[in-house]
Chains A and B, each alone.
Chain A
Amino acid sequence: MTTMPLSRRGLIKSTALAGGGFALAFALPLTTRYALAETPPETSRVTAFLEIYPDGTVRFLNPFAEMGQGVYTAIPQVVAEEMDADLARFIVMQAPVAPEYKVLFDGTLRFTGGSTSVRGSFGAMRNAGATARAMLLTAAAERWGVDPSELAVENHVVRHAASDREAGFGDLAQQAAALEPPREVTLKDEKDFRLIGQSPPRTDTPLKVNGTAWFGIDTKVEGMVHAAIRQCPVFEGKVASIDDAAARKLPGVVDVVNLDNAVAALADSWWRAKKAVDAVDITWDEGPLADFSSEGMLNDQMARVDETGVPAEDEGDAPKALRGAETVVEATYVLPFLAHATMEPMNCTADVRADGCDVWAPNQGADSVATLAEQVTGLPHDRIRVHTPYLGGGFGRRFIIDYAAQAMLLSMKAKRPVKLVWSREEDTTHDYYRPQTVVKARGAVKDGRIQATHITVVGDGPLRRHMKQFLADPDLDESVFEGLVTKPYQIEARRTDYVYHEIPVPIGFWRSVGNSVSGYAYESFMDEMAHAAGADPMDFRLAHLGEGSSARGVLEKVRDIAGYKKGIYDADGERRVMGIALHESFGSMVGEIAEVSIEAGAPKVHKVWCAIDVGTVVNPAIVKAQLMSAIAYGLSAALIEEVTLEKGRVQQANFDTYPFLPPDRMPEVVAEVLTLDRPMGGVGEPGTPPIAAAVANAVFQLTGERVRRLPFGRRELKQVEAEGATVKG
Chain B
Amino acid sequence: MYRLKVNGQTHEVDVEADTPLLWVLRDTLGLTGTKYGCGIAACGACTVHVDGTAQRSCVLPVEAVGEAEVTTIEGLSPDGKSHPVQRAWVELDVPQCGYCQSGQIMAAAGLLAGNADPSPNEVRDGITNLCRCGTYERIHAGVKRAAELMKA
Interfacial chain A residues near B36, Cβ < 8 Å: 217, 270, 345, 421
- Known A-B contacts A655-B38, A660-B132, A666-B136; the reply to A271 vs B43 at CB < 8 A is no
B39 pairs with A663, CB closer than 8 A: no
On whether the beta carbons of A210 and B137 are closer than 8 Å, the reply is: no
Q: Establish whether residues A343 and B45, one from each chain, have CB atoms under 8 Å apart when the complex forms.
A: yes
- Comparing A50-58, A281-289, A388-396, the segment that makes contact with chain B is A388-396
Interface secondary structure of B, over-half rule = loop
Question: How long is the Cα–Cα vector from A421 to B74 in the complex, in angstroms?
Answer: 22
Partner of A655, one of B26, B32, B130, B131: B130
How many Å from the CB of A214 to the closest CB on chain B? 8
Report A61-99 residues with CB < 8 Å from chain B CB: 66-70
A201 to B133, CA, bound (A): 18
A719 at the interface (CB under 8 A from B): no
Interface string of B116-131 (1 = CB under 8 A from A): 0000000010011111
Interface size class of A (residues with CB under 8 A): 35 or more
Residue ranges of B at the interface with A (Cβ–Cβ < 8 Å)? 15-16, 19-20, 23, 26-28, 30-40, 42-43, 45, 72-74, 76-77, 80-81, 85-86, 89-90, 93-102, 105, 124, 127-140
Pick the residue among A210, A654, A662, A669 that contacts B73 (CB under 8 A): A210
The complex places the Cα of A605 from the Cα of B80 at a distance, in Å, of: 37
- Grouping DSSP codes into helix (H, G, I), strand (E, B) and loop, the A interface class, with mixed when no group exceeds half, is loop
| A652 to B: closest C-beta gap in Å | 12
Given A209-B90, A423-B39, A668-B137, residue A269 in contact with residue B96 (CB < 8 A): no
The docked-state distance in angstroms from the alpha carbon of A330 to that of B64 is: 60
Whole-angstrom CA separation of A341 from B139 in the bound complex: 20
Q: Which of A202, A394, A621, A625 has the most CB of B within 10 A?
A: A625
- The segment from A114-122, A135-143, A374-382, A626-634 that touches chain B is A626-634
Once the chains bind, are A209 and B81 in contact (CB under 8 Å)? Answer: yes
- CA A424 – CA B132 in complex, angstroms? 14
Chain B residues within 8 Å of A631, by CB? 134
Residue pairs across A and B with CB atoms within 8 Å: the count is 181
Distance from A200 Cβ to chain B, minimum over Cβ atoms (Å): 10
Measured between beta carbons, the chain A residues less than 8 angstroms from B90 are 201, 205-206, 209
CB distance from A130 to the nearest CB of B (A): 27
When distances are taken between beta carbons in the complex, the residues of chain B under 8 Å from A268 are 27
Cα(A205)–Cα(B95), bound, Å: 6
Among A208, A217, A630: residue with most chain B CB under 10 A:
A208
Using CB atoms, name the residue of chain B closest to A424. B38
**Is A344 interfacial (CB 8 A cutoff)?**
yes
Please determine whether B93 and A341 come into contact, CB atoms closer than 8 angstroms: no
Set of chain A residues within 8 Å of B81, measured between Cβ atoms: 206, 209-210
- Asked if B98 and A392 sit within 8 Å, CB to CB, the answer is yes
**Residue contact A390 to B98, C-beta cutoff 8 Å:** yes
Cβ-defined contact, A211 with B134, below 8 A: no
**Are the CB atoms of A270 and B26 closer together than 8 Å?**
yes
Q: CA A221 – CA B112 in complex, angstroms? A: 37
CA distance A269 to B136 in the complex (A): 33
Cα distance, A393 to B98, chains bound together (Å): 8
Nearest residue, chain A, Cβ from B62: A271
- Does A656 lie at the interface of the complex (its beta carbon under 8 Å from any beta carbon of B)? yes
CA distance A268 to B101 in the complex (A): 27
B42 and A209 contacting across the interface, CB-CB below 8 Å: no
* Cβ contacts under 8 Å, B133 to chain A: 68, 343, 393, 629, 632
Q: Which residues of B sit under 8 angstroms from A669, Cβ to Cβ?
A: 137
Q: Residues of A contacting B128 with CB < 8 Å?
A: 662-664
A to B CB contacts below 8 Å, 27 in the list = A69-B96, A204-B98, A205-B89, A205-B90, A208-B98, A209-B86, A209-B94, A212-B80, A215-B99, A217-B32, A269-B23, A269-B27, A271-B23, A271-B27, A342-B132, A343-B99, A345-B36, A392-B98, A392-B100, A393-B132, A423-B39, A633-B132, A654-B39, A655-B42, A659-B42, A663-B130, A666-B137
Please state if A629 and B89 are interface contacts (CB–CB under 8 Å): no
- Residues of the B chain whose Cβ atoms lie less than 8 Å from the Cβ of A344: 35, 37, 97, 99
Kindly list chain A residues whose C-beta atoms are within 8 Å of the C-beta of B35.
215, 217, 343-344, 392
Q: Verify A208–B124 contact, CB threshold 8 A.
A: no
- In the complex, which residues of chain A have a beta carbon less than 8 angstroms from the beta carbon of B85? 209
Knowing A208-B98, A271-B23, A663-B127, the reply to whether A343 touches B43 (Cβ < 8 A) is: yes
Give Cα A345 to B39, complex, Å. Answer: 11
Look across to chain B and name the residue whose beta carbon is closest to the beta carbon of A226: B27
Known: A210-B80, A211-B73, A669-B137. A343 touches B97 (CB 8 A): yes
A625-653 interface bits toward B, Cβ cutoff 8 Å, 1 = contact, 0 = none: 10011111100100000000000000000
* Interface pair B137/A271, CB less than 8 Å apart: no
Q: A546 in the interface, Cβ–Cβ < 8 Å? A: no
A606 at interface (Cβ–Cβ under 8 A)?
Answer: no
Q: Does A218 contact B (CB under 8 A)?
A: yes
- Would you call A405 an interface residue if the criterion is a C-beta within 8 Å of the partner chain's C-beta atoms? no
The 5 closest A-B pairs by CB, nearest first: A211-B33, A632-B134, A392-B99, A68-B97, A68-B96
Closest chain-B Cβ to A381's Cβ sits at a distance in Å of 30
Contacts of A220 in B (CB 8 A): 30, 32
